[in-house]
A and B are shown apart, each in its own frame.
Chain A
């Protein structure tokens, strides 16, 4: 079942046409990987899924993007409600200068949850989901900045999960991490797709092949090909996709 469907999406940065006529369906409870050479628009696209591009001056978007049955680019859409349903994890780990607990409780608190018990539960659940609970349960009150890079990134995932989003966007979540931390995050993603719809931008084709169900290949702001990961990596229809996945350019 398609969770997000994009119809004729175009995005301009000033006069630069960054995304061209994107049509795409993203399926529920699957991992969709976005690949392509740098500057191809994959990051821009993932940021448009929860309207983070609104923060950048001079961005103009037309077309439609449905989250279930609602077009998120309608003028009366509340981006805050949207982002609560579509969470995001960024390239480099960026925990707030607060305790581990407060980092995870940040979203729920802003939502208006005040009950201590409830927050405790959310924090524990989110940290467990992010496979971080065992490592930090004895030091929830200490600063999040004391964690290692990989732990910080899992904390950022826990922080996003605390809001119980339906969709989790990950923009190159492992690019700042070492191989061991990376593989832990990849295992985590595999677990999380049972509950969440995941869209991940990655510059590593191996990673896309390992963890995703669907793969979308972007080139110069266009979707060249979108299909099952298996198909993209073994028998792509488009020559350019084949050139890219076989490493002939990129």
Chain B
């Protein structure tokens, strides 16, 4: 059966050019009353021995190890991020008790009598985020519904491209537009002495959160089974009723997850808020005041700190607070999304 090739173990030594004239065997073929023939020459010589040889498996073994190492490296790096932040940040609590750190009303890291209370910073972040959410949720969810259910296909595609591009615009460019254009607009509209306010930050951050909210909500609505829509319309409901009584409730978990991830983005946004909110580290009472967020504090002050000082460690500790806040949001959003997907099945 294997007459025309010579084997050495599992390796093939090819002997081409039909040593024996190939056996021609006409093949009866249903459709082509055929001239098909089987040229019965063997190209392979499968060794009869099935035992694996180490040399044959060596390359496979090496590649598997390389991939294993790559995978482990990533995992180690990702673990290091947690470990490093926590180890660098926790030492601040030797100097400043945790409660004072979180609830202290004054952030004076560089005064003679330094105070490390991050409450104003936390509140700054929360105000900006709350403002951004107030703006981006109605617009974002509305836009998602428009894309998923109302817009004609061509409009839908171009809208999606624009929104995706919006998410690719660097935050520093948005901050720049905030300084050059938006802050003036806010100053004049609200008759303020300065346009660098929490509101200015909120508006810009809203634009950074919207792509996340829109794309996840849009996915949630678009991936609903066709039957939902058809069943509702067949019962005589209008498109509007179908959207608000059937589709949006059915997609609500996805929409909630999208909003949560949007909040996560808003809290973590750094450059935009640092450029336009004025950065006064005091407890804000209105969106029209200047304020400072946790992220901006880290970015603005890290350059001036003395390494391993309390101030240095306190900035890492702010990083931990941010990490914990965003992690909670992400994990809950992931849980909501997963549950929604399970519910579909």
Do any CB atoms of chain A lie under 8 A from CB atoms of chain B in the complex? yes
Report the bound CA distance from A232 to B56 in whole Å: 44
Q: How far is the CA of A117 from the CA of B56 in the complex (A)?
A: 25
Q: How far apart are A203's CB and chain B's nearest CB, in angstroms?
A: 23
State which of A36-44, A67-75, A235-243 sits at the interface with chain B.
A67-75
> Are B48 and A121 closer than 8 Å at their CB atoms?
no
Evaluate whether A118 and B37 lie within 8 angstroms (CB atoms) in the complex, with A113-B43, A131-B30, A134-B32 already known.
no
Q: In the complex, which range does the number of interface residues on chain B fall in? A: 20 to 34
**Min CB gap B44→A, angstroms:** 5
Interface residues of A in 37-80 (CB under 8 A from B): 67-68, 70, 72, 74, 76-78, 80
Question: Which secondary structure dominates where chain B touches chain A?
Answer: loop
Complex: how many Å from CA A67 to CA B47?
A: 13
User: How close is A32's CB to chain B, nearest CB, in angstroms?
Assistant: 19
A191 within 8 A of B: yes
Beta-carbon contact of B50 and A77 below 8 Å:
yes
Check A183 against B30 for contact (C-beta < 8 Å): yes
Given contacts A78-B57, A133-B36, contact A121 B41 (CB under 8 A): yes
Q: Are A67 and B46 in contact (CB under 8 A)?
A: no
Interfacial chain A residues near B53, Cβ < 8 Å:
78
1/0 per residue, CB under 8 A from B, across A73-105: the answer is 010111011101100000000000000000000
Q: How far is the CA of A135 from the CA of B30 in the complex (A)?
A: 12
Q: A76-B52, A77-B52, A134-B34 are in contact. Are A164 and B46 (CB under 8 A)?
A: yes
Residue A115, interface by CB 8 Å: yes
A81 touching B47 by the CB < 8 A rule? yes
Residue of A whose beta carbon sits closest to that of B22: A125
User: Chain A contacts of B14 at CB under 8 A?
Assistant: 113, 115, 118
Complex-state Cα separation, A129 to B29, whole angstroms: 10
Report chain A residues within 8 Å CB of B30. Answer: 131, 183-184, 187
Does B94 make an interface contact (CB < 8 A)?
Answer: no
A112 at the interface (CB under 8 A from B): yes
Q: Which one of A70, A122, A184 lies within 8 Å of B31 (CB-CB)?
A: A184
With an 8 A cutoff between CB atoms, is A124 at the interface?
A: yes
A128, CB-defined interface residue at 8 Å: yes
B27 touches A70 (CB 8 A): no
Q: Does B226 contact A (CB under 8 A)?
A: no
> What chain B residues lie within 8 Å of A131 (beta carbons)?
27, 29-32, 34, 36
B38 touches A129 (CB 8 A): yes
Cross-chain contact B46 with A84 (CB below 8 angstroms) = yes
Contact with B along A132-167 (1 / 0, CB 8 A): 011100000000000000000000000000011010
- Min Cβ gap B39→A in Å is 5
| Chain A residues, CB < 8 A from B10 | 78, 81
Tell me, yes or no, whether A249 is within 8 Å of chain B by CB: no
Which among B12, B16, B39 is the interface contact of A124 at CB below 8 angstroms? B39
Within 8 A of A (CB), among B1-44: 1, 10, 12, 14, 16, 25, 27-32, 34, 36-44
Does A112 lie within 8 Å of B12, measured CB to CB? Answer: yes
B39's nearest neighbour on chain A, judged by CB, is A125
B29 nearest CB neighbor, chain A only: A131
Residues of A within 8 A of B36 (CB): 128, 131, 133-134
Chain B residues within 8 Å of A221, by CB: none
**Which chain A residues lie closer than 8 Å to B1 at the CB level?**
166
A13 within 8 A of B: no
Do A164 and B44 have beta carbons less than 8 Å apart?
A: yes
Contact partners of B49 in chain A: CB under 8 A: 70, 81
Q: Does B342 contact A (CB under 8 A)?
A: no
Task: Say whether B51 faces chain A, with CB atoms less than 8 Å apart.
Answer: yes
Given A78-B56, A108-B43, A115-B14 in contact, is the A72-B50 Cβ separation under 8 Å? Answer: yes
**B46 — nearest CB in chain A belongs to which residue?**
A85
Chain B interface (Cβ < 8 Å from any Cβ of A): 1, 10, 12, 14, 16, 25, 27-32, 34, 36-44, 46-53, 56-57
Instruction: List 7 extra interface pairs beyond A134-B32, A135-B32, A163-B44, CB under 8 A.
Output: A72-B50, A78-B10, A113-B14, A118-B16, A121-B41, A131-B30, A164-B42
A interface list, Cβ under 8 A from B: 67-68, 70, 72, 74, 76-78, 80-82, 84-85, 108, 111-113, 115, 117-118, 121-122, 124-125, 128-129, 131, 133-135, 163-164, 166, 183-184, 187, 191, 194-195
9 closest cross-chain pairs (CB), A and B: A78-B52, A134-B32, A77-B50, A164-B44, A85-B46, A128-B36, A131-B29, A70-B50, A125-B39
22 interchain pairs, CB-CB under 8 A = A67-B50, A68-B48, A70-B50, A76-B51, A76-B52, A77-B51, A77-B52, A78-B51, A81-B50, A112-B12, A113-B43, A122-B43, A125-B39, A125-B40, A128-B37, A131-B32, A131-B34, A134-B29, A184-B30, A187-B30, A191-B27, A194-B25
